[in-house]
Amino acid sequence: MRAQALGAGLVAQTQSSIPPFELHRPGSVAEVVALLAVHPEAVIAAGCTDLTAQLREGRVPRDLISVRRVPDLQQVRHDGGVLRIGAGLTHHEGSRHPLLQATLPSLAAAWADIATVRIRYSATIGGNLLARRFRYEMPVLLGALEADLELAGATEPRRPVDWLWGGGDHDGGDHDGSERDGAGAGAWRTRGLLTGVAIDTSDLLWFGYERSMRPTTTVALAIRVVDGSLRVTATIGSEYRRPVTVSTTADVAHPTDLDPGSVGRAVASRLPDDIEDRAGSAEYRRHLVAVLVGRLVATARDSGAQAPEGVTA
């Protein structure tokens, strides 16, 4: 079916034409924040691979702020045990960044598997998160890593990844979060501008990702040293429902002492009853999660993962 958006021209050349908007092309985070203060309902655009689909699905922005020319959004830094990844990095740039590969190579490897070659050159980590599509994988990876979203100009400068989903369970939200936070003149102060994600690596022992059962079930898993024990945090993804993050603590000091089967069962038992989705019952998904978590823990156990310097395991 061909649709015609008002004002887009007499003949739609595309399946659903994109409505006109005013374009802003700032060069710094401060300029973006200033623009958001004037245009609080503006849409933020980076790689546009998902945004163009949203626009064709009926989203009508009056103002569009392209952040492609904002160099601060392209940075990767590792200071004081915190890894910061700029929201404007494409999947290709981010996964191949030397600092990420040196600091958290398992995240780099998992990131390198996301999407197709062509999408990877355009799509950004920020867009992947803020599109709020259940099938996208960065919320799963970063959920297990307990990453924080860093938001410029917002009332709360840091939010956990779960904040993306709020109380709603809808798929396909806004690139900038305006719908979920309630569009309006003050809403942008709540959501701000996503400048990047921050991952605490100071107590991180191991991270891995299992996507062999995608899209039914994916599992990202991180092992941290907390008070001398190991905390296993897993985020469960699916094409059809929002990710779920659960943690369990194993009273052992080293990954070699972990029992994959018992950790898998412990994680699965903590999943909520509404874990069922179109791909399977709660029982089926718990079984899958136990198997996938067990595989990851076995890999961690065999990897010889060592506690970071200064962290007692």
Partner 1 sequence: MNETTIDFRLNGTPTEVTVPTNRLLADLLREDLRCHGVRSSCERGVCGACTVLVDDLPVASCSTFAFDVDGASVETVEGLAAADGSLSPQQQAFAECGGFQCGFCTSGMLMLTTGLLRQNPCPKRADIRSWISSNTCRCTGYEMILESVERAAELGDGGAR
Q: Which stretch binds partner 1 (CB under 8 A): 7-15, 175-183, 212-220, 274-282?
A: 7-15
252/205 Cα distance (integer angstroms): 13
In this complex, which beta carbon is closest to partner 1, that of residue 8 or of residue 187?
Answer: 8
13/163 Cα distance (integer angstroms): 38
Contact with partner 1 (CB under 8 A) among 33, 41, 52, 299? 52
**Total residues in contact with partner 1, by rule CB under 8 A:** 28
Which residues, including other chains, have CB under 8 Å from residue 193's CB and lie 6 or more apart?
29, 32, 33, 36, 44, 67, 151, 152, 153, 154, 176
Contact with partner 1 (CB under 8 A) among 48, 138, 145, 230? 48
In this complex, which beta carbon is closest to partner 1, that of residue 116 or of residue 312?
Answer: 116
8 binds partner 1, rule: CB under 8 A: yes
Q: How far lies 10's CA from each of 7, 17, 66, 214, in Å? A: 8, 10, 27, 42
133 binds partner 1, rule: CB under 8 A: no
38 binds partner 1, rule: CB under 8 A: no
Structure tokens, 113: 């598997």
Contact with partner 1 (CB under 8 A) among 119, 183, 252, 311? 119
For residue 260, the tally of other CB atoms under 10 A from its CB is: 19
Shortest Å distance, C-beta 114 to partner 1: 13
Contact with partner 1 (CB under 8 A) among 26, 72, 121, 171? 121
Q: Which stretch binds partner 1 (CB under 8 A): 17-25, 175-183, 203-211, 264-272?
A: 17-25
2/16 Cα distance (integer angstroms): 6
Beta carbons of 75 and 196 less than 8 angstroms apart: yes
20 binds partner 1, rule: CB under 8 A: yes
Residue 216 burial by Cβ neighbours in a 10 Å radius (0-12, 13-18, 19+):
middle
For the chain, first and last CA: distance in Å?
A: 60
Cis peptide before 215 (omega within 30 of 0): yes
For residue 284, the tally of other CB atoms under 10 A from its CB is: 15
Contact with partner 1 (CB under 8 A) among 10, 80, 98, 118? 118
In this complex, which beta carbon is closest to partner 1, that of residue 2 or of residue 158?
Answer: 2
In this complex, which beta carbon is closest to partner 1, that of residue 17 or of residue 95?
Answer: 17
Contact with partner 1 (CB under 8 A) among 29, 53, 99, 279? 53
75 binds partner 1, rule: CB under 8 A: no
Beta carbons of 230 and 224 less than 8 angstroms apart: yes
In this complex, which beta carbon is closest to partner 1, that of residue 93 or of residue 162?
Answer: 93
For residue 192, the tally of other CB atoms under 10 A from its CB is: 23
Interface residues with partner 1 (CB under 8 A)?
A: 8, 13-15, 17-23, 25, 45, 48-49, 52-53, 55-56, 64, 66, 68, 116-119, 121-122
